[in-house]
């Protein structure tokens, strides 16, 4: 994803890395760095050592290290293994060990997102370089030119003689260096272009191999982050400020009769209760909460005032970003168009809402602080913890484990509890486990930012889209601050402001949603940013803190864009799917739309449906379409809904999705990822909105922030389009959640003739629109 | 000190009687299949079987679990073995529900899936051949709350329950 230039001066950085950019070729047996294994340099791996990425072991198995961690995408356990096995000409079973996300045991992988589009080149190159080295070793051992060798099932065979890769490395002190570049904050990138296997020769990529992490999770042998228990470890619960702007007046005391081993720890506005027993910590924290006094604060607009507040926010101080094909001077086309659409679209705040509230364990020692967590960006968290403690990077180690998916919330470093565990461990001189409650996770975590978009579309007399203009508005995303550090008054990143330049910390908004209707060339796309709501007013500088959430920014922008395109089609009296195809030029855009058309049995006609109705107790039906380009993948969906006008209840009956990711690496896994993404999107569209009052988020549990249940599941039909000729791996884990909201809104229009330009599509939002003239 | 029966074994525990069973299982007994999701019986991540009924261990005081057979995710293979009269000690093969969850590649992040598998086991013991509607009902309205999955694995779960049903009928 495009990011503003980084100001790394604010965070400690390993300067050593800059010295490691080597000569650009793989060298076998040339000892630039005398490391026999991928051992630590200080408390980091040397990323210029090939075996920091991939190790061939004497038993002819392979260990793969990736700085990314898995949150249910499964890519590191499926696609990455397949890519490695393919390039090495080994069986998938030979790729036995995957080490993920630990800062002392993997090369810096940056944030865990874009696994295929951005992350797979490293894996592929590491495997390809390793294969080249194996060819050299095999040629030497077998006494034949390397051109005569082709690996098969982890071995080279010539004239009846066979040597396995494991045999080639056995007992050898091999030093293989590669050239790497640090692309902070995106992690290490392997540079150079080793020969890779032609797509036409793929044998393992394209097969539905199992996700190797699933068996351990299903059979209760996985070590989850929630399972980490250290000797002498204590449990902690945090007593949160009464509002998002409250300062501590006085902390309560632990009732030592009721809770004999519990203690209170106060540091600035950070109040915690600790105990060797988790239940005691939990109960004592409730008691202390009742006795702790905070100042009052009311500085938020409430849900009712949100969009008015957003509209009036300072959008002028942050540089406006334009889409790359935007043109000045399209105003006359809009003004002179035969028909025009001019509308505003709204997206609510939404929670990442992991099924498990965030937690972490920290162990602060004199020489090293170790944090056990489930972050999506371990190296960034390491920098942040080092900054908070005022220590060098080599004094911090982050270990990552399987944890509840949280969909982007921690890809700037912290998932929420890590810094608090560190602060308390330092204070107590023992390991501490901080477990947030469900209420804390709802009220004190970041969320997906609310947004609005103003769109104008001009049509000519024949119903062709001759001009498109959009102004997307969204407050700052990616507030990466350590919340415990903020409360405790310890050093951490500043809140997002207009000043660039710390990664993800500015108010800059970007054009996340690529224009896919390139037949219309007269377009103007602008993205406007501003500060987070409540950030400046709160004495804690904590308002509604935002962070990227699955398809960040693009979710907000694509909802507006795709619904507006459906409305434009209606204005043109055209079928919305054919209208899209007619305005597309990229064959992959056309292809994915045709695929969803055919798979859904789509019958062309304009919206609304001939029998549409916006009143009565009889259910009405409608269908809508949406499309998306994201991370080298093309997506399209058709949603079919029924709606009872008298109640405003919307039911999605069927959802058909087509995906073209280029090369389909693993059909079964892709299918499951697509189903998952689409289901989350249905949940967002039908149910999700963060409710807040003037003091903070009012939702404390799943009743206050409901998500989709199984009973509400429609049939989901997934069509995978494999295009080996494209030659690249597009992402399939993410974009699926974008599709439902604009398609359902279009389907509601189809069914009722009424346009609902905001979601969730709950009766509270649907009924007023149905009743409108 | 009380004794509870967990996964077929009598197990003495020290936790106070008001401690939620989930904390006893995870912190004292190291049975980490059930997960802490909400502490409010609203999500099902912590589900265990009490006898043959799915309960939320995050709100069940230890005292109320005494005298009843508790089955966690770890105990599903033994439960399946016992139900077929096979010896349940040592390494039992995975429960058909677990087999089906793997064959269908059901979990995404997997955090909710221990509770989902417990619910599936309860359902299949009562209703060996559930319809899709019965599966949806079981996972949504039969318990104290719907079983929630944030990653969106509901479709995969429905398919896995049907598959587990087929495996169980094959015996």
Nearest chain B alpha carbon to A226: B35
Residue A748: DSSP 8-state: H
Portion 9-28 of B in contact with A at CB < 8 A: 15-16, 18-20, 23, 26-27
Query: Taking chain B, what is the end-to-end CA distance rounded to the nearest angstrom?
Result: 40
> Does residue B131 belong to the interface with chain A, where contact is any CB pair within 8 Å?
no
Q: State the smallest CA–CA distance between residue A322 and chain B in angstroms.
A: 33
* Contact call for B153 and A214, based on CB within 8 A: no
CATH code for residues A8-211? 3.30.365.10
Q: What number of other Cβ atoms are within 10 A of residue A192's Cβ?
A: 15
Residues 700-739 of A with CB under 8 A from B: 701-703, 707-711, 713, 716
- Cα distances (Å, whole numbers) of residue A476 to A384, A414, A495, A510: 19, 17, 10, 10
Apex A345 CA angle, A342 and A351, nearest 5: 170
Q: Could you tell me the two tokens for A580?
A: 């899209």
Predicted local distance difference test score (pLDDT) of residue A773: 64
Q: Cβ B33–A672 below 8 Å, yes or no?
A: no
Q: Which CATH architecture has domain B79-170?
A: Orthogonal Bundle (1.10)
Touching A: B residues 48-77, CB under 8 Å:
72-74
Is some CB atom of chain A closer than 8 A to the CB atom of B141? yes
Domains B2-74 and B79-170 in one fold:
no
Average of per-residue pLDDT across A427-450: 98
Which residue ranges make up each domain of chain A?
8-211, 226-297+358-436, 574-770
Give tens-digit pLDDT for A638-661.
Answer: 999 999 999 999 999 999 999 999
Question: pLDDT (tens digit, 9 = 90+) per residue, A69-89?
Answer: 999 999 999 999 999 999 999
- Given this model, what pLDDT does residue A566 score? 98
- Residues from chain B that touch A669, judged by Cβ atoms under 8 A, are 105
- Cα torsion A729, A733, A736, A738 to 10°: value is -100
CA distance to partner chain B, nearest, from residue A220 (Å): 5
pLDDT above 90 for A3: no
Q: How far is B165 from chain A (nearest CA, A)?
A: 17
* Nearest chain B alpha carbon to A714: B155
Q: What is the DSSP letter of A167?
A: H
The answer to whether B111 contacts A703, with C-beta atoms less than 8 Å apart, is no
Per the listing, tokens 């049903």 go with: B165
Q: State the architecture of A574-770 in CATH terms.
A: 2-Layer Sandwich (3.30)
Average pLDDT over residues A112-116: 88
| B2-74, CATH topology level | Ubiquitin-like (UB roll) (3.10.20)
Residue in A closest to B95 by C-alpha: A219
Q: How confident is the model at residue A19 (pLDDT cuts 50, 70, 90)?
A: very low
Taking only the tens place, the pLDDT of each residue in A586-636 is 999 999 999 999 999 999 999 999 999 999 999 999 999 999 999 999 999
What mean pLDDT comes out for the span A310-327?
96
Q: Rounded to 5 degrees, what angle do the CA atoms A617, A717, A571 make?
A: 55
Task: Give the span between the Cα atoms of A709 and B143, in whole angstroms.
Answer: 13
- State how far the Cα of A735 lies from the Cα of A680, in Å rounded to an integer: 11
- What pLDDT sits at residue B88? 64
User: Tell me, what's the pLDDT at A499?
Assistant: 84
Instruction: List the one residue out of A728, A737, A738, A733 whose CA is nearest residue A588.
Output: A728
Residue with token string 């393992």: A204
> Which pLDDT tens digit goes with each residue over A82-110?
999 999 999 999 999 999 999 999 998 88
> Who among A227, A278, A435 is closest to B32 (CB)?
A227
Q: Do domains A8-211 and A574-770 have the same CATH topology?
A: yes
Q: What is the CATH number that goes with domain A226-297+358-436? A: 3.30.365.10
Q: Tokens 């224009």, residue?
A: A515
Closest CA to A39 of A26, A27, A49: A49
- Paired residues of A151 in beta bridges: none
Residues of A in contact with B139 (CB under 8 A): 709-711
Question: Which tokens hold the place of A13?
Answer: 């950085």
Instruction: Check pLDDT > 50 for residue A311.
Output: yes
Lowest-pLDDT range of A12-16, A53-57, A529-533, A600-604: A12-16
Residue range A707-754, pLDDT digits in tens: 999 999 999 999 999 999 999 999 988 999 999 999 999 999 999 999
Record the pTM.
0.95
**At residue A381, does pLDDT exceed 70?**
yes
Q: Does A20 have pLDDT greater than 90?
A: no
CA nearest neighbour of A229 among B16, B28, B59: B28
CA-based nearest distance A740→chain B, Å? 13
**Which of A46-50, A515-519, A748-752 has the least mean pLDDT?**
A46-50
For A319-331, how does the pLDDT look when each residue is reduced to its tens digit (9 = 90+)?
999 999 999 999 9
Q: What is the pLDDT of residues B147-170, one digit of tens each?
A: 999 999 999 999 999 999 999 998
Average pLDDT rounded to a whole number, residues B101-117? 98
Angle, vertex CA A766, rays to CA A760 and CA A770, nearest 5: 155
Please determine, for residue A670, whether its predicted confidence score (pLDDT) is greater than 70. yes
Alpha-carbon torsion (A655, A661, A662, A663), positive or negative: negative
Q: What is the dihedral of CA A37, A42, A48, A51, to 10 degrees?
A: 20
Q: Which two tokens stand for residue A352?
A: 């990442």
Task: Quickly state the pLDDT bin for A500 (edges 50, 70, 90).
Answer: low
- B39 and A CB contact within 8 Å: yes
Q: Distance between CA A71 and CA A260 in Å, rounded?
A: 39
Q: Sorting pLDDT into bands at 50, 70 and 90, what band is A504?
A: low
Quick check: A206 and A200 in contact, CB under 8 A? no
Contact check, Cβ <8 Å, B155/A713: yes
Q: HSE-up of A369 (CA within 13 Å, CB side)?
A: 33
Q: Is B121 within 8 Å of chain A by CB? A: no
Sign, CA dihedral B155-B160-B161-B163, equals positive
For chain A, the average pLDDT equals: 92
- Residue B78 C-alpha, separation from nearest chain A C-alpha, in angstroms: 12
* Pairwise CB contact (< 8 Å): B43 & A702: yes
Give B89's pLDDT tier (boundaries 50, 70, 90): low
Mutate to test the interface with A, among B80, B131, B152, B156 (most CBs of A within 10 A): B152
pLDDT tens for residues B55-71? 999 999 999 999 999 99
Query: Where are the domains positioned within chain B?
Result: 2-74, 79-170
**What is the Cα–Cα distance from A355 to B149, expressed in whole angstroms?**
7
Residue B45 has pLDDT above 60, yes or no: yes
Could you report the predicted ipTM of this complex, rounded to two decimals?
A: 0.98
Residue A397 has pLDDT above 50, yes or no: yes
Residue B153 to residue A709, Cβ atoms within 8 A: no
Contact A226 B19 (CB under 8 A): no
Judge contact between A607 and A634, C-beta under 8 A: no
């Amino acid at each position: 994803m495009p990011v503003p230039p980084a100001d790394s001066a604010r965070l400690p950085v390993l300067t050593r890395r800059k010295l490691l950019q080597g000569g650009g070729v793989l060298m076998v047996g040339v000892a630039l760095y005398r490391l026999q294994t991928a051992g630590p340099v200080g408390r980091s791996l040397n990323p210029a050592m090939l075996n920091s990425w991939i190790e061939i072991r004497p038993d002819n198995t392979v260990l793969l290290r990736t700085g990314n961690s898995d949150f249910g995408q499964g890519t590191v356990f499926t696609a990455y293994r397949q890519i490695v096995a393919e390039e090495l000409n080994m069986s998938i079973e030979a790729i036995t060990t995957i080490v993920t996300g630990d800062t002392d045991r993997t090369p810096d992988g940056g944030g865990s997102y874009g696994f295929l589009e951005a992350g797979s080149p490293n894996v592929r190159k590491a495997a390809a370089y390793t294969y080249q080295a194996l060819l050299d070793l095999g040629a030497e051992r077998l006494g034949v030119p390397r051109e005569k060798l082709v690996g098969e099932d982890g071995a080279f065979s010539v004239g009846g003689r066979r040597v396995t890769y494991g045999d080639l490395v056995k007992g050898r002190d091999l030093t293989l260096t590669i050239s790497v570049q640090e692309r902070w904050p995106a992690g290490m990138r392997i540079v150079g272009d080793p020969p890779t296997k032609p797509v036409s020769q793929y044998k393992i990529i394209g097969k539905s191999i199992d996700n190797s992490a699933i068996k351990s999770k299903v059979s209760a042998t996985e070590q989850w982050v929630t399972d980490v228990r250290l000797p002498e470890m204590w449990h902690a619960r945090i007593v949160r400020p009464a509002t998002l702007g409250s300062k501590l007046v006085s902390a309560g005391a632990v009732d030592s009769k009721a809770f004999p081993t519990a203690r209170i720890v106060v540091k600035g506005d950070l109040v915690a209760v600790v105990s060797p027993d988790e239940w005691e910590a939990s109960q004592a924290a409730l008691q202390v909460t009742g006795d702790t006094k905070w100042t009052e604060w009311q500085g938020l607009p409430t849900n009712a005032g949100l969009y008015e507040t957003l509209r009036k926010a300072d959008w002028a101080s942050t540089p406006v970003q334009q889409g790359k094909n935007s043109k000045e001077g399209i105003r006359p086309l809009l003004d002179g168009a035969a028909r025009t659409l001019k509308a505003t679209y709204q997206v609510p705040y939404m929670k990442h809402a992991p099924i498990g509230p965030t937690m972490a364990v920290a162990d602060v020692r004199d020489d090293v602080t170790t944090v056990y967590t489930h972050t999506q960006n371990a190296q960034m968290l390491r920098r942040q913890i080092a900054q908070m403690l005022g220590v060098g990077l080599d004094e911090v180690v982050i270990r990552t484990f399987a944890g509840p998916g949280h969909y982007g919330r921690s890809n700037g470093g912290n998932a929420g509890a890590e810094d608090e565990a560190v602060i308390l461990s330092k204070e107590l001189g023992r390991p501490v486990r901080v477990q947030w409650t469900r209420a804390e996770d709802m009220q004190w975590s970041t969320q997906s930012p609310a947004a609005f978009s103003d769109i104008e579309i001009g049509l000519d007399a024949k119903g062709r889209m001759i001009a498109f203009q959009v102004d997307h508005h969204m407050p700052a995303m990616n507030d990466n601050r350590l919340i415990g550090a903020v409360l405790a008054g310890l050093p951490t990143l500043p809140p997002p402001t207009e000043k660039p330049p710390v990664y993800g910390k500015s108010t800059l908004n970007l054009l996340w949603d690529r224009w896919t209707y390139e037949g219309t060339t007269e377009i103007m796309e602008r993205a406007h940013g501003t500060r987070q709501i409540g950030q400046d007013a709160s004495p804690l500088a904590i308002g509604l803190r935002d962070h990227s959430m699955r398809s960040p920014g693009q979710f907000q922008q694509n909802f507006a864009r795709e619904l507006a395109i459906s409305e434009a089609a209606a204005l043109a009296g055209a079928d919305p799917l054919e209208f899209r195809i007619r305005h597309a030029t990229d064959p992959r855009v056309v292809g994915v739309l045709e695929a969803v058309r055919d798979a859904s049995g789509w019958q062309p006609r304009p919206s609304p449906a001939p029998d549409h109705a916006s009143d009565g107790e009889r259910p009405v039906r409608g269908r809508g379409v949406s499309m998306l380009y994201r991370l080298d993948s093309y997506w399209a969906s058709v949603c079919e809904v029924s709606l009872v006008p008298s109640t405003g209840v919307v039911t999605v009956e069927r959802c058909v999705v087509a995906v073209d990711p280029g090369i389909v690496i693993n059909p079964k896994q892709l299918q499951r990822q697509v189903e998952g993404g689409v289901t989350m999107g249905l949940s967002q569209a039908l149910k999700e909105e963060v409710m807040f009052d003037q003091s903070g988020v009012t939702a404390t549990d799943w009743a206050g922030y409901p998500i989709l249940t199984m009973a509400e599941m429609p049939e989901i039909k997934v069509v995978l389009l494999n295009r080996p000729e494209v030659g690249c791996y597009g992402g399939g884990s993410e974009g699926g959640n974008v599709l439902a909201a604009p398609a359902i809104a279009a389907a509601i229009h189809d069914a009722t003739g009424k346009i609902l330009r905001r979601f969730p599509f709950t009766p509270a939002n649907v009924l007023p629109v149905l009743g409108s003239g | 000190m009380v004794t509870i029966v967990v996964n077929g074994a009598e197990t003495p525990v020290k936790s106070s009687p008001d401690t939620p069973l989930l904390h006893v299982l995870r912190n004292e007994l190291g049975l980490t299949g059930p997960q802490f999701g909400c502490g409010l019986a609203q999500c099902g991540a912590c589900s265990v079987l009490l006898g043959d009924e799915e309960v939320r261990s995050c709100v069940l005081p230890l005292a109320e679990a005494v005298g009843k057979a508790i089955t966690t995710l770890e105990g599903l293979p033994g439960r399946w073995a016992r139900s077929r009269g096979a010896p349940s000690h040592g390494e039992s093969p995975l429960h058909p529900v677990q087999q089906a969850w793997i064959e269908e590649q059901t979990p995404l992040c997997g955090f909710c899936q221990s509770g989902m598998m417990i619910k599936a086991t309860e359902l299949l013991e009562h209703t060996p051949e559930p319809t899709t509607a019965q599966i949806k009902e079981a996972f949504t309205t039969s318990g104290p709350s719907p079983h929630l999955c944030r990653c969106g694995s509901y479709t995969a779960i429905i398919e896995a329950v049907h598959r587990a049903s087929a495996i169980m009928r094959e015996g």
